């Protein structure tokens, strides 16, 4: 069962941490405290780290054991198992991260600590797992210091709100560190007054929970507040494996060999310093020309719509996001909406009202407009991402799949002409993943690649040789500027009598000609099941998260939001036409594509 952290809470006031709470759970707060108090008062049953935490889980009927071998993941079933990785003294290697995430992707639950601080200058945290998940750890002191909410009597405690519970769980996380999710992939979180200390995200068929403080479940801390209860809640219904680092070797045993290695390393280091080059930096920022175009686009939107109309567009976007997080939100009264938004965003109702209430003035001063944009930006970012992939799409026609034996993969390279080669590599990888899966299911697979030189067109075939031909065709693509070839190729499908089991299109949706492509793809969806893999524009979305402080910042944000809402509108049209849309970051598109394909496909005999 997929565990999720709900963020809805009753609109009644918070209850005292010492009173009975979480009464709708199998284990309530009072029972958890009594159980952990008995365990801590007794002599430890072993000398492993987190022994009291292990004994507590055992007392709740959760079988748990320890291991120091990463190879255990190869034999540990993913479904029905949780892996707890808190005792991390050394960073994980890339191979360990691959093995770990592969296990989670198959349905495992991972609970681990995020401790490595983000280095802004180096654009890395030095932790392969955090960098892969794109989660950053910051010092809370570096964040804007917010005053406690008037009704918050315990601002230093982290509060986790659960659906149907009248009071939150109270947790004593060390508040010195803050978890940041700049890409918006986290589905649930828990905050103190000034920082986020717990994040949870789906990963494949599994679940990853990150905490900022692993001391929460040490013997000295686990009996405080609802710390023990949280450990049970995150692992309930599963068998728990604690993964610890192997014990350190006795000092002095390998001193002679260490000296030899040190000399060799010194020589290698001097050679590296002499020959090193600047590290590669991905296209995480837009160039000056693109920034100028976005700012001009924002200025043009304001001239055409007026500040009030554009602010109204931003307000409607915020309310649409809230509807995804809280079903029935649109039916609530205004005051109730503000209360729910306060719980979802951790903003005060006063700041929410200031952001959402339209102003009476026809002409806004530059300062007032900038302030209004900044308020709406902050509220929008705190609600997390909204994409067409989050909506319920019309399922593909099973009859069409059964009557046809071929899958067509389309790749439009126009969005990546001239730059962002890394994004194109992710797109081609998604094409290979889906193609290989379809071939394994017994389908013939065709491939068409356009907006590139030379165009690629492979007729539907089966077999290992066809896989090799596809790999070679995708290996050396040279993108060109977007043309009308996307819509033309899609319209050609309508003139063809071929019945496709599935049409898969991989695109970036950044060009002005995309509406014609959307119209053609919608028409294709009336005859064939269609899966669209849409790569999000990461540099653009990162730019939209930069704080708005001046009018030029506000104009730039207007241009960014106009592009993002335009793209969202294209997705909405496709979803309404029956297209299955996967809206994902470039680094995750291949995994998401394979998962969505497997949910749609009907394997052939």
17-67 pLDDT tens trace: 777 888 888 888 889 999 998 998 888 777 777 899 999 999 999 988 888
Looking at the fold, whether 506 and 453 belong to one and the same domain comes out as yes
CA distance 49 to 458: 57
Looking at the fold, whether 377 and 495 belong to one and the same domain comes out as no
What three-state secondary structure class fits 489? helix
Q: What is the pLDDT of residue 573?
A: 87
Q: What is the dihedral of CA 536, 540, 541, 542, to 10 degrees?
A: 130
pLDDT level of residue 584 (50, 70, 90 thresholds): confident
Q: What percent of the chain stands above pLDDT 90?
A: 12
Looking at the fold, whether 553 and 495 belong to one and the same domain comes out as yes
Looking at the fold, whether 335 and 218 belong to one and the same domain comes out as no
- The count of structural domains within the chain is 3
β-pair type (239-243, 64-67): parallel
Looking at the fold, whether 400 and 379 belong to one and the same domain comes out as no
Q: Is residue 274 part of a domain?
A: no
State the alpha helices, DSSP H only, in 250-333: 255-275, 288-305, 307-325
Q: What is the pLDDT of residue 387?
A: 42
Q: What is the pLDDT of residue 389?
A: 40
Looking at the fold, whether 370 and 234 belong to one and the same domain comes out as no
From 86-95, 205-214, 596-605, the region with the lowest mean pLDDT:
596-605
Highest-confidence range of 463-477, 492-506, 547-561, by mean pLDDT? 547-561
Looking at the fold, whether 378 and 468 belong to one and the same domain comes out as no
Each residue's pLDDT tens digit, 228-273: 999 999 999 899 999 987 654 444 555 666 676 677 766 655 544 4
Q: Is residue 397 part of a domain?
A: yes
Contacts of 485 (CB under 8 A, 6+ apart): 450, 451, 455
From 64-73, 101-110, 433-442, 503-512, the region with the lowest mean pLDDT:
503-512
Sign of CA dihedral 190, 185, 433, 442: positive
Each residue's pLDDT tens digit, 405-436: 889 998 888 777 655 667 788 888 888 888 88
Residue with tokens 């969202």: 568
Domain end position, chosen among 243, 259, 275: 243
pLDDT level of residue 480 (50, 70, 90 thresholds): confident
Q: Is residue 150 part of a domain?
A: no
Q: What is the pLDDT of residue 56?
A: 93
Q: What is the pLDDT of residue 418?
A: 56
* CATH number of the domain bearing residue 516: 3.40.50.410
Residue 187 has pLDDT above 60, yes or no: yes
For residue 138, the enclosing domain spans 29-143+156-243
Token pair, residue 565, equals: 């809402």
Looking at the fold, whether 299 and 425 belong to one and the same domain comes out as no
pLDDT level of residue 70 (50, 70, 90 thresholds): confident
β-pair type (196-203, 206-211): antiparallel
* CATH number of the domain bearing residue 104: 3.40.50
Long-range contacts of 74-80 (CB under 8 A, 24+ apart): 74/99, 76/103, 76/108, 76/241, 78/103, 78/104, 78/105, 78/106, 78/107, 78/108, 78/205, 78/206, 79/106, 79/107, 79/108, 79/205, 80/237, 80/238, 80/239
Average of per-residue pLDDT across 495-502: 79
Sign of CA dihedral 276, 277, 283, 286: positive
What three-state secondary structure class fits 275? helix
Q: Is residue 510 part of a domain?
A: yes
Q: What is the pLDDT of residue 108?
A: 93
Looking at the fold, whether 217 and 98 belong to one and the same domain comes out as yes
CA distance 158 to 161: 10
Global pTM value: 0.50
Domain end position, chosen among 175, 210, 243: 243
Which residues make beta-bridge pairs with 530? 503
Q: Is residue 14 part of a domain?
A: no
CA distance 530 to 500: 9
State the alpha helices, DSSP H only, in 186-287: 227-235, 255-275
Answer whether the bond into residue 454 is a cis peptide, omega within 30°: yes
β-pair type (169-171, 158-160): antiparallel
Q: In this predicted model, which residue has the larger pLDDT, 84 or 350?
A: 84
pLDDT level of residue 511 (50, 70, 90 thresholds): low
Q: How far is CA 440 from CA 17, 102, 107, in A?
A: 55, 20, 22
Each residue's pLDDT tens digit, 306-337: 778 888 888 888 888 888 777 788 888 887 88
Average of per-residue pLDDT across 443-472: 83
Looking at the fold, whether 213 and 69 belong to one and the same domain comes out as yes
Token pair, residue 448, equals: 């068409």
Q: What is the pLDDT of residue 602?
A: 47
Which residues make beta-bridge pairs with 158? 171
pLDDT level of residue 209 (50, 70, 90 thresholds): very high
Token pair, residue 370, equals: 């900038």
Looking at the fold, whether 342 and 197 belong to one and the same domain comes out as no
Q: How far is CA 537 from CA 53, 144, 199, 515, 585, in A?
A: 43, 28, 23, 17, 8
Q: What is the pLDDT of residue 293?
A: 77
Q: Is residue 5 part of a domain?
A: no
CA distance 293 to 303: 15
Looking at the fold, whether 230 and 83 belong to one and the same domain comes out as yes
Q: What percent of the chain stands above pLDDT 70?
A: 81
What integer best gives the mean pLDDT of the chain? Answer: 78
Q: What is the pLDDT of residue 345?
A: 77
Domain end position, chosen among 359, 386, 413: 386
Q: Is residue 407 part of a domain?
A: yes
Q: Is residue 266 part of a domain?
A: no
Residue 7 has pLDDT above 70, yes or no: no
What three-state secondary structure class fits 111? strand
Q: What is the pLDDT of residue 211?
A: 94
Q: What is the pLDDT of residue 268?
A: 58
């Amino acid at each position: 069962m997929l565990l999720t952290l709900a963020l809805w809470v009753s609109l009644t006031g918070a209850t005292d941490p010492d009173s009975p709470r979480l009464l709708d759970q199998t284990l309530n707060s009072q029972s958890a405290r009594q159980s952990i108090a008995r365990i801590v008062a007794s002599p430890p049953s072993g000398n492993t780290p987190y022994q009291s935490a292990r004994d507590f889980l055992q007392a709740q009927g959760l079988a748990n054991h320890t291991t120091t071998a990463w190879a255990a993941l190869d034999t540990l079933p993913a479904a029905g198992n949780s892996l707890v990785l808190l005792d991390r003294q050394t960073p994980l290697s890339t191979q360990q991260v691959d093995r770990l995430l592969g296990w989670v992707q198959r349905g495992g639950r991972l609970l681990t600590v995020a401790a490595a601080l983000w280095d802004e200058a180096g654009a890395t945290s030095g932790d392969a797992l955090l960098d892969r998940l794109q989660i950053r750890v910051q010092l809370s002191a570096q964040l804007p210091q917010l005053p406690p909410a008037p009704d918050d009597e315990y601002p230093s405690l982290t509060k986790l709100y659960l659906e149907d519970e009248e009071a939150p769980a109270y947790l004593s996380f060390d508040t010195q560190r803050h978890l940041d999710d700049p890409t918006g992939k986290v589905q649930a979180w828990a905050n103190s007054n000034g920082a986020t200390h717990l994040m949870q995200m789906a990963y494949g068929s599994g679940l990853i929970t990150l905490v900022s403080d692993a001391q929460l479940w040490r013997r000295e801390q686990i009996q405080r507040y609802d710390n023990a209860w949280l450990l049970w809640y995150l692992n309930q219904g599963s068998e728990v494996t604690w993964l610890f680092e192997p014990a350190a070797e006795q000092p002095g045993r390998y001193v002679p060999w260490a000296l030899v290695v040190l000399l060799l390393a010194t020589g290698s280091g001097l050679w590296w310093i002499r020959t090193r080059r600047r590290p590669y930096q991905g296209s995480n920022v837009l160039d000056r020309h693109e920034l100028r175009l976005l700012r001009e686009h924002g200025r043009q939107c304001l001239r055409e719509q007026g500040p009030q109309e554009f602010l109204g567009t931003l307000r409607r976007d915020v309310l649409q996001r809230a509807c995804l997080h809280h079903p029935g939100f649109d039916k609530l009264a205004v005051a109730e909406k503000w209360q729910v938004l306060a719980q979802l965003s951790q903003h005060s109702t006063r700041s929410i009202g200031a952001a959402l209430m339209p102003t009476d003035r026809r002409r806004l001063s530059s300062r007032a407009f900038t302030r209004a944009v900044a308020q709406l930006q902050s509220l929008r970012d705190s609600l997390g991402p909204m994409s067409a992939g989050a909506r319920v799409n019309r399922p593909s026609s099973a009859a069409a799949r059964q009557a046809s034996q071929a899958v067509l993969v389309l790749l439009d390279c126009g969005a990546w002409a001239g730059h962002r080669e890394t994004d194109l590599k992710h797109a081609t990888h998604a094409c290979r993943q889906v193609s290989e899966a379809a071939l394994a299911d017994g389908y013939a697979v065709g491939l068409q690649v356009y907006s590139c030189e030379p165009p690629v067109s492979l007729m539907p075939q089966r077999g290992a040789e066809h896989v090799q031909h596809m790999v070679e065709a995708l290996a050396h693509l040279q993108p060109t500027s977007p043309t009308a070839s996307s819509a033309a190729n899609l319209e050609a499908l309508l003139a063809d009598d071929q019945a496709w089991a599935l049409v898969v299109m991989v695109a970036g949706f950044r060009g002005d000609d995309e509406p014609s492509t959307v119209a053609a793809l919608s028409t294709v969806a009336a005859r064939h099941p269609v899966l669209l893999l849409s790569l999000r524009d990461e540099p653009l979305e990162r730019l939209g998260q930069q704080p708005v402080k001046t009018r030029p910042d506000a104009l730039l944000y207007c241009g960014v939001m106009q592009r993002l809402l335009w793209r969202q509108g294209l997705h909405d049209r496709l979803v309404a036409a029956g297209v299955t849309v996967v809206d994902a970051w470039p680094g995750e598109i291949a995994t998401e594509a394979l998962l969505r394909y497997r949910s749609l496909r009907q394997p052939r005999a």
